[in-house]
Amino acid sequence: MTMKLPAILFWILICANACAGADDKIPLPQARFATGDNSAWKDPDLDDRAWNQINTHDYYENQGYPGYDGYSWYRIHVLIPSSFKTTSHWPQRLRVFLSAIDDADETFFNGVRIGKTGRMPEDPGGYDSQYQAQRDYHLDLHGDVVRWDRDNVIAIRVYDGGGGGGFYKGTPYLKMAEKIEGVRLDTAQATHRFLGTKRLRSTLTVVNSYPVAQVGSIEYEVRDAASGRSLQRHKQPLNMAAMGTSQLQFTTPARPGIEVAYRYRDAATGQQLAVTQVLPYLLTPAQSLQPAIHGASVLGARPTSPLLYRIAATGRAPLRYAVAQLPAGLSLDPKQGVISGSIATRGTYKLELQVSNALGRATRELSIVVGDQIALTPPMGWNSWTAYGVGVSDALMRKAASDLIASGLAAHGWNYVNIDDGWESAQRSADGEISGNERFPDMRALGDYLHARGLKFGIYSSPGAFTCGRYLGTLGHERQDAWAYARWGVDYLKYDLCSYTDTMSKEQTLAEHQKPYQLMGEILRELPRDVNFSLCQYGEKDVWNWGESVGANSWRTTWDVEDNWESVVKIGFSQSPYAKAAGPGHWNDPDTLVLGRLGWGNALHPSRLTPDEQYSQVSLWSLLAAPLLIGNDLSSIDAFTLNLLTNDEVIAINQDRLGQAAQRVFEDQDWQVWVKPLEGGRKAVGVFNLGSQFRTFKLTPAMAGMDRAGKLRDAWRKKDLGAFGEGITVSAPAHGLALLVGR
């Protein structure tokens, strides 16, 4: 029998998908691809031989469809041998693992819908991008959907809202599910309750996500990584009903290096699941009830610009606020401790802030420098992106603002409340005005709400026609939009490159990159208010060399940070070369702090960073004099995260008015030492353990460029350590650190 060429290619394609790879997985590296949308394309018997072939691990833009946004279909042909069933002890479910798809998908197996993630523009509720979500669809094998030993078609309808589109993150595959895969040791959702400060009560929920009972046992062992000792070991039967859950509870010491190793064993097969979790511990000592004043001690403002300063102070309520030497034009709200008004004349004004309660009184000097510069210390606050993605709303912004105050964070200097992408209307009005969309009915009212609480109002846009989330950008409306921001009371603009690159030549010159930022920088200076200008162009064209010259107060130096250690290391520990570019009024921005509960608009999950990794990120970003922007859901903030974000000695390193960024002074295989000069000749030193073991390290005065006689203080523990001497031995868990201040 002779085969025609298309038929041969067809069988080669099937083999490419079905014949390679490990025997328990069938990789799916190839697909047929077409742009457009047609419901008939899910049909397994459709003749798609004329469709183009494409791989399933890279954006389609990189495979002959540059700049394509909208609908497209992938059709993956796969021969599934009936012997594949024998690769599982439990041949009842087929897993169709598609990895992540940019942005939304609807997936059919031989014409039967097996899953959908995100929403298409026509769907009720409108477009919802879920580009980061893993697609792990399951097919029940009790039906007859699978054609064993024959060609099967997985048809994936994709909608791409902008940027990269389609498959991009790893090769999809088929796998027979094992029953034990229904068991999840959900350490990310484990809850921890501190009993005092030294002990921790943890609850782990084990979830059975399969409709079949699970019979097995669980063992957990609490270990102390500092001593290498096992502290507790416990084993018990663990049986779960179909779709059931079970809980484990135990109490451990709360200190660095405590971790728990879980192991679940399926009784019938002996198959095992193992997970280790590092447990949280508190370093910041409990706040005194005596009044204390925190936050920046210097504030920049331009003459006549509206000025807003919320005095960051703690102590037992009620606190009373007063200010001595309040310059003409300013007034104080003595209940909230908010200074507002404006100063017409250039100069440096020294005020005395006073905060008192039944237990005493604290005072502190605040300098207001009225001149050309703002952002004299790095901005601190909250941004909506990593919690809510483009699903942000006026209600969520107001809730974040009130939580910032109610949680106590504002009392430590966290005072910006910044909307990221997703607020913009779909269209401009007839006269070209931009407004908020249906989730933002009144931008001005939102600004007033924030200002009434002494909080500052941040907004987001792109110099391009569209933002990264495919909302309207400012292109051609720059001045009009900036004046709208001014009317709404905006204090901070994050200006994100995104689709502006569509306007550039192929070469993308430095001048082309500078142009939109130069333009907006000039416009912002014309406004009757101070707007912190935050460039977001991911460090293109070495922005640290020219950001200041276009009027930027900060510039992103990297791509988006994610809540995993690799991302934090790649971004944070690569900042040393740019240190010199940072200074009062202009800061390097390595993106936000990825701690607390995050979700990017999807279901919230606790940060995937371990507690030590979170201590490291906050410490490193403080040393780098980076803008400190958190982005977690504040309504569910836990004791650990709050403790992490309210250490005034750590924050003071970031807010130091000298404004110098740390540089790396030492590096070996595991350890890095970073030093930040502080006001008055002091220095802050971060000693980071990048290795995977609990270790000790000897830091010498020479290494840090410090004095042997100089006294050291542990910033996290707020504890004096004595003189440096010959050197000091610090210990830190894997990915943890010590943060010292001295001279």
Q: Is there a catalytic annotation at residue 707?
A: no
Nearest-approach distance from CB 469 to ligand GLA, in angstroms: 4
User: What CA–CA distance (Å, rounded) separates 145 from 80?
Assistant: 12
Identified binder of ligand GLA from the candidate list 536, 623, 662, 728, rule CB under 6 A: 536
Q: Indicate the residue among 397 and 737 with the shorter CB distance to ligand GLA.
A: 397
CB-nearer residue toward ligand GLA: 305 or 467: 467
Q: For residue 69, state whether it binds ligand GLA (rule: CB under 6 A).
A: no
Smallest gap from Cβ 462 to ligand GLA, in A, equals 8
Question: What does the alpha-carbon distance between residue 90 and residue 77 come to, in Å, rounded to a whole number?
Answer: 25
Binding mask 459-498 for ligand GLA (x = CB under 6 A): --------xxx--------------------------x--
Query: Of 403, 420, 562, 612, which one interacts with ligand GLA (CB under 6 A)?
Result: 420
- Which C-beta is closer to ligand GLA: that of 385 or that of 440? 385
How many other CB atoms sit within 10 Å of the CB of residue 268?
Answer: 12
Q: Is the dihedral of CA 583, 586, 587, 588 positive or negative?
A: negative
Using rule CB under 6 A, residue 277 touches ligand GLA = no
Spatial separation of the C-alpha atoms in residues 405 and 393, rounded to whole Å: 19
Q: Which is nearer to ligand GLA, 305 or 461 (CB)?
A: 461
Contact between 240 and 246 (Cβ < 8 Å) = yes
Clarify whether 144 is annotated catalytic.
Answer: no
Tell me whether residue 276 or residue 425 sits nearer to ligand GLA (CB atom).
425
Least Cβ distance, residue 632 to ligand GLA (angstroms): 15
Q: Among residues 152 and 467, whose Cβ is nearest to ligand GLA?
A: 467
Class of residue 645 by CB neighbours under 10 A (exposed 0-12, middle 13-18, buried 19+): buried
Q: Figure out which of the listed residues 74, 109, 385, 533 binds ligand GLA, where binding follows CB under 6 A.
A: 385
Amino acid at 395: A
Map residues 427-466 to x or -, x wherever contact with ligand GLA holds by CB under 6 A. ----------------------------------------
Helix (H, G, I), strand (E, B) or coil at 711: strand
Binding letters toward ligand GLA, positions 545-584, x by CB under 6 A = ---------------x------------------------
User: What minimum distance in Å lies between the beta carbon of 471 and ligand GLA?
Assistant: 8
Q: How far is CA 547 from CA 347, 376, 521, in A?
A: 26, 16, 10
8 Å CB contact between 498 and 466? yes
Q: Distance from first CA to last CA of the chain, Å, rounded?
A: 86
What is the C-alpha radius of gyration for the chain, rounded to an integer number of angstroms? Answer: 28
Quick check: helix, strand or coil at residue 22?
Answer: coil
In the complex, minimum distance from the CB of residue 389 to ligand GLA, in angstroms, rounded to a whole number = 8
Label each residue of 356-387 as H, E or C: EECCEEEEEEEEEEECCCCCCCCCEEEECHHH
Is residue 720 within 8 Å of 713, Cβ to Cβ?
yes
277 vs 532 by CB, closer to ligand GLA? 532
Residue from 123, 333, 448, 560 carrying the catalytic annotation: 560
Q: Check: CB of residue 454 under 8 Å from CB of residue 487.
A: no
- Binding positions for ligand GLA, rule: CB under 6 A: 385, 420-421, 467-469, 496, 536, 560
Residues serving a catalytic function are 496, 560
